[in-house]
Structure 1
Amino acid sequence: MQPAKPHNPEAYTFQRFLGVLLQYAPFVLGSGVFFALLAYGGSARQPPVYEATSSVLAVQVESGDPLLTTAPALPEGAVEQAMHSERMVEGILVHLRQSALPPPLVQRIGGDLRRELTTRQFARLQVRPRLNTLQNGVYEIAAHAETPAAAQVLANASVSALLDWDTARAVTGVVRSRDSLRKQVAALDRRIAAAPDTTELQTLSYARQGAAERLVLLEQLGQAANGTLSRLARAVAPAAPVSPLPLRNALLAFLTATFLGAVAALVWDALHPRARRPDDLGDLGAPVLGWLPRLPRGGSGAGLKGVRGEAVRRAAGFLRVNVAVRLRPGVRRLVLTGLRSGQGTSRVTALLAQGLADAGQRVLIVDAACSPGQALMWPAAGTRSEALPAPELSEGVQGRTVAQGIDLLSLGGVQGGPARLVAAPPFAALLTRWSSAYDVVLIDAPPLTESAAALTLAGPAGRLVLVVEATRFGRLDLERALGLAHVGGATVLGIVLNRVPWRWLGAPLPGSDPQDSPPPTPPRPSEPAGSGVA
């Protein structure tokens, strides 16, 4: 008899990813916080950088006479190339030396500008063009420096050097046109002197007069030549630095690290598949005996009597029925073990013992785990302590009746721990004697992958029950545990999924109460079972 399958959130991709992220939330959030603190500390130690911006207006003015066009139109990218040139750097330094900036700071800025020319990585000065298709518009010159005043002075000095370069470009055009006209006038004078007739002389005289007028005009333009650029706005001292920004950098580092951590968690989960539902365990050769919901902290009795006690009793009843159906006649020893510590083996043992006792069976629980798990499951109040018939055992072995039909034998007080007692040869014979007075012996054993005690306790006469925590175990780990059991010669009765989330159960478990159909029970001994082993 199998319990109804719980609602499976794996059918929804979003819920599956959400479950993985919740599982690895400490790692994901921890890495995000770590890198955020690292980025904040690194940014806070960096010196501040201030940015000041000055702008120039670019207007292309073309005249009908090419000789009178003193400054040709600037092509795309010309201003940026000129700004990052050696000539421009020298012009900027001339203006900086004339400012009130300290000479060491001017020298440092000059060194950075020269170094940027070789690396082609420009951080001190940046050109931001905003032009139309005719190359008319605004150029913004952004300067970065250690102080607000230095950034302001550097931006204004850069624009001044740029305007000087543009003016020099216009003057060069005027000088070129003037030299050309002078040569033209001199050539006309020579032709006039050698003119053969009056008609040609008159024509050459008119041509010389026009060239002379244009030369006079160029002489006047040379005194007031300007380029295509003009200052639009001077830079002002910035109020706050543009870098570093510790809070922004910390936030970006947190988001980046969290995203990468989530991706790493999803990749890890994909590379290390986890069995999260009974269907994932169907091909392992070990049936799923049942699944138990996550119980509140405290003893098992608190879980059975809690708000969700009915669902817990139903789940425990299904587990009891499946265990009883699969047990062969004469097999009375069940060793419950987990893949690793902390998977709730003690809780499952206590719930199974409670279910078997409610069905009228005498149950002996042997607490062979390294930690006293059963002592926490069963409260000491209302129980009577009495010695089990094994006087040759160490004084550390204590037995007591913990509930109606349930006796508990604890090996936790044995010197050297339970593993030392289990490994002793007489222990197997003693365990057989104890089992003779009970219908079922449940042994709460150490994890299978951490100790060989579970295999020793099971032996040829017992059966192993693997307890695994739902959504927290890997399929490879489970295959390894089954392989260890096979090599050790132990028979695995089945697997119990523990701590199943309540949302997996959905509505109350369907089907009749398992108490309505009592399962077959192992043969009882001929003599009535007492509180101890006869």
Structure 2
Amino acid sequence: MTSERPKDLDLSYLLGVLRRAALPVLLTALALSLLVYLYSRTRPAVYQATASIAALPNGGGNSVINTTLVTAPPLPPAVVARAMRSPEVVDRALTLLGQRVPDSAARRALEQQVRADLGQNDDQAVGLASDVNQDFVGVYEVSVRAATPPVAQAGANSFTQALLAWDRQRALGSVSLARQNLLQQRDDLTRRIAQAATPLDVRSLESLRGDVLQKLQQVEVLEQTVTGTLSALAGALLPVDPVEPRPLRNAALVFAATLFFGVLLAFALDQLRRRIRGPEDLRQFSVPVMATLPPLPARLTDPRALIREVGQGTFREQMDFVRVGLLATLVRPARTPLIVISSAQTGEGKSTVTAALASNLGLNGLRVLVVDADVYRRRQEQLWLSGGTGRPAPAPRPAGPGGSQLWSGVGERVDLAAPGNSRLDVDEVMNLIEHLRANYDVVLVDSPPVLRVADSLALAARMDGLLLVADAQVSRAQVERAVQEVGLLGVHLLGFVLNRFREPAGQGSYAYAPLQAERTGVLP
């Protein structure tokens, strides 16, 4: 029944992990989000203003600049960002800021933050975002954060103006180079005119010098109007709402992040815990694993639906292995064998296994008595007397001392008995069994979990054997403890039934439909 192939995704197991971790994760998320919300409320407000700059293509069509090859090239975004953090731009922007707004704590704080960002190459106070194409044509946005709206607006406009002034100086430097080149040409032509030997040479050189002087005049005019490749697009507006802090947004982000990482941590911790994940983990106790029962489609609360599920498909086939294993272990007993079925903890499916095994034995010709010794839950009464077997619920009759009751014919060759006490009384249960056991081939006792109720071990010690049901995700430490406790009291551990074990892909049911159709007894 073992395989090294990966198992299918067990959604019920995943939901179980989430259900166990839900409360602590939710409480942690709520606590952290509340703390972040309260902390955010105490933080000072921060306003952000944004101004826009257009990056234009080079080559304005001026023939003088194009001829002298000194046109200003377009700027890549990285160059503009580096210029934005240059001391020249920062110093000019802070000077303009001082001229735009009066001295205040908000202005001084912005100036200090800008200086600190300049030394750390950071952009907490002033940011630059670009949206340009491959030709470096597009839009730049200069954003400034400050403690008051007027300072933020003035800061954005000041840094925009400083950056435009830097770009103009860059373009003006190219025009200045063109002017120097034309001056050198003029001086050279003047010298050559003075040295000319013929009047024809003089007239030719003077014509060339006239063209150079005309170009020089155009360059001098261009020096007054050059703007570079950047130009102002939109000034900063006065911000109305602060961008920080945002208590609700911060709290929501922390809440979502805590939920996400909390669930991841829950699954990680669950994987690190030593659990029973397959029959190979139970064989280390040197006790046979009689069956591996598949998980039911859902956590069924309707006993009738549960009865139907456990009587068909792979579940029924595995119960055949339990029946054969028990009968092989109890070969020709001198008296009716007493088998107690229990588990280490609650919720591992021992009551379902008890009912399914009783029905399987009854369908195979054995007279079975089921004793509902789990007096705290009375699960056997819920299963057998709910009408899920297709039989009308029989009327109980007294069975032995202490108010015990017996229901005959709850299933095919299956009777049900229950002690009348509201707590587990081992002597009362044994008296009830001794009073009835002679009429049956086997007695199955559904007892409380051995690690939850101490009298369960005392009851198991007076039985012929114990069948221990283990959930496929139960802690291995709990199973080890249960086996140790059973061994200390000398209980005969017959074997394990591994419940809710998902078989590897491709190892499904082997039952034939006609054979299932013939099963018309208690569990169809």
**TM-score range relative to shorter protein:** 0.5 to 0.7
Corresponding position of 2:15: 22
Shift of 1:309: 4.7
Aligned equivalents of 1:202 and 1:185: distance in 2? 14
Q: Secondary structure at the match of 1:126?
A: strand
Determine the structure 1 residue equivalent to 2:388. none
Corresponding residue for 1:468?
Answer: 470
Match of 2:87 in 1: 86
Q: Show the 5 A alignment for 1:376-395.
A: 377=381, 388=401
Maintained 8 Å contact 1:54/1:140: yes
Instruction: Give me the whole-angstrom Cα distance separating, in 1, the residues matched to 2:243 and 2:395.
Output: 72
Q: Are the equivalent residues in 2 in contact too, given 1:50–1:145 (CA < 8 A)? A: yes
Q: Deviations over 1:136-192 (max 9, x none)?
A: 433332334455555443332222111122223344445555567667767877888
Alignment match, 2:330: 327
Counterparts of residues 116-195 of structure 1 (less than 5 Å): 116-146=117-147, 150-175=151-176, 178=179
Give the partner amino acid of 1:341. Answer: T
Partner of 1:113, secondary structure, is helix
Indicate the residue corresponding to 1:229 in structure 2.
230
SS where residue 142 of structure 1 aligns? Answer: strand
**Counterpart mapping for 1:256-267 below 5 A:** 260=261, 263-264=264-265
Deviation of 1:451 after TM superposition, in Å, equals 6.8
Judge conservation of contact 2:185–2:212 (CA < 8 Å) in 1: yes
Q: Which runs of 5 or more residues in structure 2 are unaligned?
A: 386-393, 409-414, 503-507
Residue in structure 2 matched with residue 54 of structure 1 by the alignment: 52
List runs of 5+ in structure 1 lacking aligned partners: 389-397, 517-534
In 2 relative to 1, CA 172–353 (structure 1 residues): closer, same or farther, beyond 3 Å?
closer
- Once the two structures are TM-superposed, the CA of residue 338 in structure 1 deviates from its matched residue by 0.9
1:204 deviates by 11
Question: Is the CA contact (8 Å cut-off) linking 2:29 and 2:259 kept in structure 1?
Answer: no
Decide whether aligned partners of structure 1 residues 32 and 81 sit closer, same or farther in structure 2, where only a CA change above 3 A counts.
Answer: farther
Report the equivalent of 2:411.
none
Counterpart CA distance in 2 for 1:463 and 1:233 is 88
What residue is the counterpart of 2:116 in the other structure?
Answer: 115
Residues 360, 52 of structure 1: CA spacing in aligned structure 2 closer, same or farther, 3 A cutoff? same
Match of 2:131, as an amino acid? R
CA 1:106–1:290 in 2, change beyond 3 Å: closer, same or farther?
A: closer
Q: What secondary structure sits across from 2:112 in the alignment?
A: helix
Distance in 2 of aligned mates of 1:157 and 1:442? 89
CA deviation vs aligned residue, 1:98-145 (integer Å, no higher than 9, x gap):
335772222222222212112222133332333344434333323344
Q: What's the counterpart of residue 404 of structure 2?
A: 400
Distance 2:133 2:311 in 1: 79
Deviations 1:377-415 (A, max 9, x none): 489x97667874xxxxxxxxx5522434655447765xx
Partner secondary structure for residue 373 of structure 1: coil
The amino acid across from 1:438 in the alignment is R
Aligned-pair CA distance for 1:487: 6.5
Q: Aligned-pair distance for 1:441?
A: 5.7
Distance 1:68 1:32, change over 3 A: farther
Length, aligned pairs only: 475
Deviation at 1:259, TM superposition (A): 5.1
Q: Is the 8 A contact 2:468 2:493 kept in 1?
A: yes
Aligned to 2:516, the other structure's residue is in SS state coil
Counterpart CA distance in 2 for 1:150 and 1:411 is 82
Quote the Cα distance in structure 2 between the aligned partners of 1:138 and 1:364: 83
Instruction: Note the aligned Cα RMSD (angstroms).
Output: 5.4
Q: Superposed, which structure 2 residues align to 1:211-230 within 5 Å?
A: 214-230=215-231
Tell me, in whole angstroms, the C-alpha distance in 2 between the residues paired with 1:28 and 1:456: 35
d(CA) in 2 for partners of 1:350 and 1:133?
Answer: 75
Tell whether the 8 Å contact from 1:57 to 1:139 is kept in structure 2 after alignment: yes
What is the Cα deviation at residue 455 of structure 1?
A: 4.9
Return the TM-score normalized by structure 1.
0.65
Matched residue, 2:516: 510
CA shift for structure 1 position 83: 0.9
**SS at structure 2 position matched to 1:143:** strand
- Asked if 2 retains the 8 angstrom alpha-carbon contact of 1:171 and 1:222, the reply is yes
Provide the C-alpha distance between the structure 2 equivalents of 1:170 and 1:60, rounded to a whole number of angstroms: 10
Tell me if 1:341 matches 2:340. Answer: no
Report the Cα distance in structure 1 between the residues aligned to 2:70 and 2:215, rounded to whole angstroms.
13
* Partner AA of 2:233 in structure 1: L
Q: Which whole-Å CA distance do the structure 1 matches of 2:433 and 2:220 have between them?
A: 125
How far off its partner does 1:307 sit?
5.5
The residue correspondences of 1:237-386 to structure 2 (distance < 5 A) are: 237=238, 260=261, 263-264=264-265, 285-288=287-290, 303=303, 306=304, 309-310=307-308, 323=326, 326-328=329-331, 329-330=333-334, 332-345=337-350, 363=369, 365=371, 367=373, 372-374=376-378, 377=381
Q: Distance in 2 between matches of 1:72 and 1:254?
A: 52
Of stretches 437-446 and 312-321 in structure 1, the one that deviates more from structure 2 is 312-321
CA distance in 1, matches of 2:121, 2:479: 58
CA contact (8 A) 1:54 1:233 kept: yes
Letter of the 1:335 counterpart:
V
CA separation in 1, counterparts of 2:54 and 2:309? Answer: 78
In the alignment, is the contact (CA less than 8 A) between 1:465 and 1:492 conserved in 2?
yes
Taking the aligned partners of 2:72 and 2:299, their CA distance within structure 1 comes to 85
2:154 and 2:268 map into 1 onto residues whose CA distance is 53
**Contact 1:17–1:266 under 8 Å retained in 2:** no
- Evaluate the alpha carbon distance shift between residue 92 and residue 37 of structure 1 in structure 2; reply closer, same or farther with a 3 A threshold: farther
CA shift in 2, pair 1:402/1:109, >3 Å: farther
Indicate the residue corresponding to 2:73 in structure 1.
Answer: 73
For 2:334, the aligned partner's letter is G
Say if 2:444 is the partner of 1:438.
Answer: no
- In 1, Cα distance between equivalents of 2:210 and 2:127: 49
Q: Secondary structure at the match of 1:52?
A: strand
Give identity over the alignment, percent: 26
Secondary structure (helix, strand or coil) at the match of 1:343 reads coil
Q: In structure 1, what is the equivalent of residue 36 of structure 2?
A: 42
Please tell me whether the aligned partners of residues 400 and 431 of structure 2 are also in contact (alpha carbons under 8 angstroms). no
Q: Which residue number corresponds to residue 97 of structure 1?
A: 98
Matches within 5 A, 1:448-487: 448-449=450-451, 454-459=456-461, 462-469=464-471, 471-474=472-475, 478=479, 481-482=482-483, 485=486
Q: How does 1:487-526 map to 2 (within 5 A)?
A: 489-496=490-497, 510=516, 512-513=518-519
Distance in 2 separating the partners of 1:196 and 1:51? 65
The question of whether the paired residues in 2 share the 8 Å contact of 1:68 and 1:174 is answered with no
Q: Distance in 2 between matches of 1:513 and 1:89?
A: 89
Residues 97 and 103, structure 1, Cα contact 8 Å, conserved in 2: no
Alpha-carbon distance, 1:453 to partner? 5.3
SS of alignment partner, residue 94 of structure 1: helix
Per the alignment, residue 389 of structure 2 pairs with none
- Pair 340,197 (structure 1): closer, same or farther in 2 beyond 3 Å: same
